[in-house]
Amino acid sequence: MSALASRILAAGLAYIFQIYLAKSLGIENYGIFVTFWTWQVILTHISVMGFSESAVRFLPRYATRLREDLTYGFMSNGLKFIITTSIATAILCGSALYFFGHLLADNMMGSAIVLAVGLPILALELYIEGVARGLGWTMMAVVPGFIVRPLIVMGALFVISLNNIPLTAELALAVTIAVTLFLILLQAIFIKLHVKRVKPATSQNHRKRLRRYWICAAVPLVVVTGVEELLYWSDIVILGFMMPSESVSVYFAALRCMAIAGFIHYAFMLVFAREFSLANAVGDRTELQHRVHMASTWTFWLTIPAVLVTLAAGPLLLSLFGEEFLSGQIIMAVIGLGLVGKSIVGQASSLLIVVGRERLNVLIAAYALVLNIAVSVTLVPIFGILGAAVGTALSQIVRAALLYYYCRLKINVSVIAHFDPRKVLLAKAT
């Protein structure tokens, strides 16, 4: 419930933050901002090299077994690895801009440079969020990035505007990255104070084998998280290539409004991914099935009213961005339908990662991604931004069906929500 409450607050702040950006930047600069922020999300998940997700897999296991040495070892090695890979990714992005920057519009080059420079900072933020989830620090995983950051960024941009400095997409990105750096320094201090520095009491050769094991377990998750992020953001990427910035702005505003309902899924993922890992660590399949059913049922039955309420408030929510954004109401309805379909299987993708079936997870996500791209590229020239919304919703529903089928087939766990929610509350699943 604390995770849910924090995500409600975070969703509301994210909505206010997007309204402020749309109003202060203007519809064209806002479109550039959301396009490059989308690329940031994708490249950041690649830079982390799977360590953010593998932290949720390994840290609860080590906590259950009271292995503080392995907890510290995993976190330390993950930090060094991510710093190296994120800097390498930033250098590759910079090289791409040097050789192919002429393909970008003049008003986009500054945002692209800021994004390349800020990648290592944003990658560290994502890794710390994964560590916080793995250690059960739910508030630390949510509050800095989703609550504190938008408040500070809005305040900073407001002060800048008072000094008659024009607000642009690259300036907004630079301020966001600078605030992120400040917050991760505070989080690093918190971790330093609360995690004991205990080196593994093993030989140097064993520590090297552990390091290789952690890397080999994490790196395949790059594909998992990369495909999942592409699946989530592919509509924005496609529209960035096929539609003007103004249309991207309208679509993203509708997406942000409906994200208010999407906080349900993320809130339960924060808690139950770790719960799945704890049940799996002790080998209790009955308890694992119960927790899976509980996560799916709560997610499904809370998502439906959240979507309906958000749709009812849609005209008001969109009007706050500006009159030109009201055309996004139909986009909200289609995206909401996809959210409901996705919620039926709850946190099934997190379950596959926890039990070591990340390849199956990425295969399912890849099927959905190909479907999303195919439908969107086909429909966007005909229906505009509505075509991208249809592709996104359809891919989410198809992915939910595949997750249900393969979880039942491969790991013998039913991930579908109970349509009578009392069942999961009254007794454990058999």
Report residue 193 CA to chain centroid gap. 27
pLDDT tier at 27, thresholds 50, 70, 90: confident
- Give one word for 105, left, alpha or beta, with left for phi > 0 and alpha for psi -120 to 50: beta
> Of the candidates 207, 152, 146, which has an alpha carbon nearest to the alpha carbon of residue 178?
152
Boundaries of every domain in the chain: 1-218, 234-430
CA distance 228 to 292: 20
Asked whether 375 and 235 are in contact (CB, 8 A), the reply is no
Neighbours of 312 (CB within 10 A): 10
CA distance 45 to 240: 20
The average confidence (pLDDT) of the chain is 83
- Give one word for 196, left, alpha or beta, with left for phi > 0 and alpha for psi -120 to 50: beta
CA distance 371 to 334: 16
Asked whether 356 and 281 are in contact (CB, 8 A), the reply is no
**DSSP secondary structure string for all residues of 62-89:** HHHTT-HHHHHHHHHHHHHHHHHHHHHH
- Residue 357 φ/ψ, nearest 5 degrees: -105, 45
pLDDT of residue 179: 94
pLDDT tens track for 262-310: 777 777 776 777 777 777 777 777 788 888 888 888 888 888 998 999 9
Q: What is the share, in percent, of the chain residues with pLDDT greater than 70? A: 93
Neighbours of 236 (CB within 10 A): 22
pLDDT tier at 428, thresholds 50, 70, 90: very low
pTM greater than 0.85: no
pLDDT of residue 334: 93
pLDDT tens track for 89-135: 889 988 888 787 776 766 778 888 888 888 999 999 999 988 888 88
CA distance 73 to 325: 49
Q: Tokens for 196? A: 């004991």
Cα angle value 95/116/224 (rounded, 5°): 100
Q: Tokens for 261? A: 């309902």
Asked whether 238 and 277 are in contact (CB, 8 A), the reply is no
pLDDT tens track for 58-87: 888 887 777 788 888 888 888 888 899 889
